[in-house]
Structure 1
Amino acid sequence: MAAPAAPEPLLGRYRVGDVIGVGSFATVHRAVDERLDDVVVVKVLAENHSLNPEVRERFIAEGRALRRVASPHVVAVHDIGESDRQQPYLVLELADRGTLAARVAALRADGWTATPADVLAVARGLAAAVEAVHAARLVHRDLSPGNVLLRTGPEGAVEGVPAAVVRPDERLVLADLGMSKDLARSSGLTVAGGTEGFRPPEQAGPGTVDTRADLWAMSALLSWLVEGADLPHSLDAALRRSLADAPARRHPDAAAWLADVEGALAPGTTGGPDRARRRPAAVVVAAVTAAVLGLGAGAGVTAWLDRPRSAAGGATVAISGPGAATVGEPVTLTADVAGAEHWVWTLPTGTYVADDERVRLTASSAGAAEVVLEARAPDGTALTAVHRLRVGAGS
């Protein structure tokens, strides 16, 4: 006769069950809150790390950070405690549908590629989560498919079209603020960190990090999601803006990032990457007028946090055109690109134009502005050319 199974251990009032995740510093268990009869997650700091004051404080700080973020798209923390072996633990809401990484892997095994509904379902949930994190004066610093979770909750439909990656009865939630940076308590100077492939350049070593690091990771995550999909090339252009090496060239916040993604997928946008073609030099000049250069003196000229590279990996980018103009006078700038198939213009208002050989700008007020041209070399190196334009009042 088999011996009865040993009872599951208790941590406070939580009966700890199966392991559902293991990281470098902590183990995550499914558990039952015996007082409330609810299924939760208990994240326990490893015993060897519990004796390290710095690691211990960072673990506890994750619980505090989660408590500061009020959003249905960020995992909620219910409790914090300590085991008999002095191991701190966090009690979190259960994301019962697994990770985004696992969902996408399962879908791709059946030949799936992302649709516009899939992209919007992930982008909207992700932007809502990151916006809430940033509103709490935090930088997540580790946005990756393994830290984006799915749980029961009817928020997956996009304009009545169900998405496969986030289903109509699910919502996306963001987890793991263990690497988050509290901007209210520091200058942003931080050590290296993040997940390979989703780590912005400024997190590759010690340096200054702000909320724009998360925007880079958001674009990297969405780029991963749409691999192999036939989607408008304007989506690639929107994502590449926040993949700029220099934080100053990225979207200013999650709302602007989402607006560009939604605009790129709006009806009437251009065809997917497989249908995109480099436009001939004689293409009709894109008229980007109105208030494109409607900036005050000095506006648009932002200090670079990284030195831009205009040549690498057998590719080069440059901008040719006048360096001065007057209000009301159209100015044409030309992209001189070699060795790269696609490029993106970023105009002084933050709007972008993909793959046009030329752009025409009309200044509506005097001042100074920058026009940026970005591309990626065949070896993956980000290339950037900056054209500075002085605008006079004219006669």
Structure 2
Amino acid sequence: MQKDVIIIGGGAAGFFAAINIAEQNPELKVTILERAKEGLAKVKVSGGGRCNVTHAEFVPQELVQNYPRGEKELLGPFHQFMTGDTIEWFEKRGVALKIEEDGRMFPVSNSSQTIIDCFLNEAEKHHVEVLYNHPVKSIKKASELFHIETPDGEFVSKKIVVATGSNPKIWNLLQDLGHTILQPVPSLFTFNIKDERIQDIPGVVALDVEVNVLGTDLWSEGPLLITHWGMSAPSILKLSAFGALELAKRHYKFQIEVNFIKQTVKDCLDVLKTLKQDLAKKTIYKSTQFDLPKRLWHKLVLASNMNVETRWADLNKLQLEDLANQLTRAVFNVDGKSTFKEEFVTAGGVNLKEINFKTFESKRCENLYFAGEVLNIDAVTGGFNFQNAWTGAYIVAKSISK
């Protein structure tokens, strides 16, 4: 079956590319081949089922800093299609977006179904053919044409777009077409930690901490959530994304140092000495300081060689130093990781040196285009992975529809 453009993968990037190609050039017959019985699976579960469409960051130089892999390469593309363009694209099609306090953007409806319906309606309106249950078995190129084999027969097309996300089978086929694949490792994961100091207090959030991985220059800051199995929230997820390769090398066994109050040991000690005078008769356990959650304060106090009865007046030099260290440089042993919700992201994929980022076309194989996470691009959590998908897919569409 001969088509003008075949898109492999019916996810966010695949649909966005297909719709924009068909809209910009209605002459072209566009077909999406999706291996599952329905598409847009990641869109459905993103943001807890609300779909975190993008992030309210409107300066390309700032936006690229959220991509551990792809920072340099995405700067040019973001000048072509950016957050503002994404918002406008959806609003033109009746989907209003809203900005939450942390900058994440969601449909006003708070439902990912709104985004899915928008894509399905647009695809139908622009006569995009969507074929489900069509896994791709092989991709071969002969005399300017791509031959794509599926269990339902062969498809032939002059141009193809690969938007399959992190799919090892497709990466193998791309190697046969001359591409180098960087071995995928998980990104965006939480840290497994067994430690008395965080035991039995899941759900506690320290709002603004600094975390660094000992023995590396990896560090991050932001909220930290204590969970049943360890630690999560942006400060940890950022570390996992920027440290994806380094932490994989260490087999997810390493130490982190947490500064719960973002002060130096010396400054913290000065405050504690003043408190020793001002609150002399009170028990330390019951007088939570530094805006810390009460349950976390209790744990750190008990970890500093004190008990629930110890009063400020009774503190000796060693106990003061212990408490200052627990507050500003608490060391935890990480032993393993857990995937962050359903939003599984990998670092790895098609080598970025082999892509022309003006068009997202392969430098190795003419008329082969890429969009989304099939490339070695990934981002921290917050809508950035989707923005990469929209940008790449839009630029692909512009190149092909010409």
TM-score (ref. length: structure 2): 0.26
Higher relative contact order (CA 8 A, sep 6+): 2
> Whose helix fraction is larger, Structure 1's or Structure 2's?
2
Which has more radius of gyration?
A: 2
TM-score (ref. length: structure 1): 0.26
